[in-house]
Amino acid sequence: MQVSYNWLQEYVDINLSPKELAHQLTLAGIAVDAVDYSGEGIDNVVVGHITKITSHPNADKLVVCQVDVGKESVQIVTGAPNVQEDAKVAVALVGAVLPGGTKIKKAKLRGESSAGMMCSAKELGLDPKNFPEEQREGIIILPDDVPVGEDIKSVLGLDDYILVLDLTPNRADCMSMLNVAREVAAITGGAIKLPNFQVDEASLAPADEWAKVRIDAQDLCQRYVARVITDVTISPSPLWMQHRLNAAGVRPINNVVDVTNYIMMELGQPMHAFDYDKLEEHRIVVRKAVQGEKITTLDEDQYELDADMLVIADARRPVAVAGVMGGLETEVTAKTQTILLESAYFEGISIRRTSRKLGLRSESSSRFEKGIDKEASAMAADRAAQLLMQVSGGKVVPGSVDAYPRPWSPTVIQMSCDRVNQLLGTDISGGRMQEMLASLSLEVKQLEGALLEIRVPSYRGDLTAEIDLVEEIARLYGYDNIKTNSAGGRAEVEDFTPEQKLRKKVTETVLGCGLNEIITYSFISPKSMDRLMVSAEHNWRKNVVVQNPLSEEQSVMRTTLLPGLLETASKNFKRRQTDLALFEIGSVFQAADTPLPDERQHIGVVVSGEAARGWMSKPEQMDFFYAKGIVEEILQQLGVKEYWFQNTDRYPSLHPGRSAEIMVGGGNSGGSIIGYLGEVHPNVLDNYGLQQRAAVVELYLSGLIDYVNLVPTYQALPKFPAMVRDMAVVIPENYQVAEVDAAIMEAGGNLLKKAYLFDVYTGKQIAEGYQSLAYSMKYQADDRTLTDEEVSQHHQRIQETLRKKFDAQLR
pLDDT digits (tens, 9 = 90+) for 437-476: 999 889 999 888 889 999 999 998 889 999 999 999 999 9
Spatial distance between the Cα atoms of 369 and 356, rounded to a whole number of angstroms: 11
In tens, the pLDDT along 611-656 reads 876 555 678 889 998 999 999 999 999 988 888 888 888 899 999 8
Amino acid at 377: S
- pLDDT: which is higher, 190 or 205: 205
CATH entry, 723-810, from 3.30.360.10, 2.60.120.10, 3.30.70.380, 3.40.50.720: 3.30.70.380
pLDDT bin (cut points 50, 70, 90) of residue 416 is very high
pLDDT of residue 57: 87
pLDDT bin (cut points 50, 70, 90) of residue 505 is very high
pLDDT of residue 581: 93
In tens, the pLDDT along 7-28 reads 999 999 998 999 999 999 998 8
65, 50 contact by CB (below 8 A): yes
Backbone angles phi, psi at 761, to 5 degrees: -135, 135
Taking the CB of residue 200, how many other CB atoms lie within 10 A of it?
10
User: First vs last Cα of the chain: how many Å apart?
Assistant: 80
Decide the pairing of beta strands 283-288 and 212-215: parallel
On the question of pLDDT at 307 being above 80, the answer is yes
Average pLDDT for residues 263-280, to the nearest whole number? Answer: 94
Average pLDDT for residues 102-128, to the nearest whole number? Answer: 87
Is residue 598 annotated as involved in ligand binding?
Answer: no
pLDDT of residue 568: 94
pLDDT of residue 611: 84
- 2-38+160-188: what fold? Phenylalanyl-tRNA Synthetase; Chain B, domain 1 (3.30.56)
666 three-state secondary structure: coil
In tens, the pLDDT along 62-109 reads 999 999 998 889 999 998 888 888 899 999 999 888 887 788 889 888
Alpha helices, H only, 669-736: 682-687, 701-704
Residue ranges of the chain that CATH labels 3.50.40.10: 207-403
Residue ranges of the chain that CATH labels 3.30.930.10: 498-707
pLDDT bin (cut points 50, 70, 90) of residue 492 is low
The radius of gyration of the chain from alpha carbons, rounded to an integer in Å, stands at 39
- pLDDT: which is higher, 671 or 432: 432
pLDDT bin (cut points 50, 70, 90) of residue 212 is very high
Region at 753 (left for phi over 0; alpha for psi -120 to 50; beta for the rest): alpha
CATH entry, 45-155, from 3.40.50.300, 2.40.50.140, 2.60.120.260, 2.60.40.1080: 2.40.50.140
Spatial distance between the Cα atoms of 376 and 369, rounded to a whole number of angstroms: 16
- HSE toward the beta carbon, residue 3, CA cutoff 13 A: 33
- In order, the DSSP letters of 441-463 are T-EEEE-STTEEEEEEPTT-TT-
pLDDT bin (cut points 50, 70, 90) of residue 702 is confident
The secondary structure of residue 94, as a DSSP letter, is: T
CATH of domain 207-403: 3.50.40.10
Distances (CA, A) of 404 to 121, 314, 374, 375: 46, 19, 10, 10
Spatial distance between the Cα atoms of 624 and 611, rounded to a whole number of angstroms: 13
pLDDT of residue 224: 95
pLDDT of residue 325: 92
Spatial distance between the Cα atoms of 510 and 720, rounded to a whole number of angstroms: 35
Average pLDDT for residues 698-704, to the nearest whole number? Answer: 91
Residue ranges of the chain that CATH labels 2.40.50.140: 45-155
Burial class (CB in 10 A: 0-12, 13-18, 19+), 622: buried
Decide the pairing of beta strands 112-115 and 63-68: unpaired
pLDDT of residue 503: 92
Is residue 471 annotated as involved in ligand binding?
Answer: yes
Closest CA to 500 of 354, 348, 708, 323: 708
Is residue 277 annotated as involved in ligand binding?
Answer: no
Average pLDDT for residues 110-133, to the nearest whole number? Answer: 85
Containing H/E element for 281? none
Closest CA to 122 of 103, 106, 99, 94: 99
pLDDT of residue 688: 92
Residues 498-707: name the CATH superfamily: Bira Bifunctional Protein; Domain 2 (3.30.930.10)
470, 424 contact by CB (below 8 A): yes
pLDDT of residue 617: 63
Backbone angles phi, psi at 660, to 5 degrees: -150, 155
Spatial distance between the Cα atoms of 462 and 729, rounded to a whole number of angstroms: 77
Containing H/E element for 74? strand 73-78
Is residue 472 annotated as involved in ligand binding?
Answer: yes
pLDDT of residue 347: 92
On the question of pLDDT at 551 being above 90, the answer is no
Taking the CB of residue 105, how many other CB atoms lie within 10 A of it?
12
Taking the CB of residue 216, how many other CB atoms lie within 10 A of it?
12
Average pLDDT for residues 755-766, to the nearest whole number? Answer: 87
pLDDT of residue 272: 94
Average pLDDT for residues 282-297, to the nearest whole number? Answer: 93
125, 100 contact by CB (below 8 A): yes
pLDDT bin (cut points 50, 70, 90) of residue 765 is confident
653, 534 contact by CB (below 8 A): yes
Q: Could you tell me which CATH class the domain 411-481 is placed in? A: alpha beta
pLDDT of residue 284: 95
Residue ranges of the chain that CATH labels 3.30.56.10: 2-38+160-188, 411-481
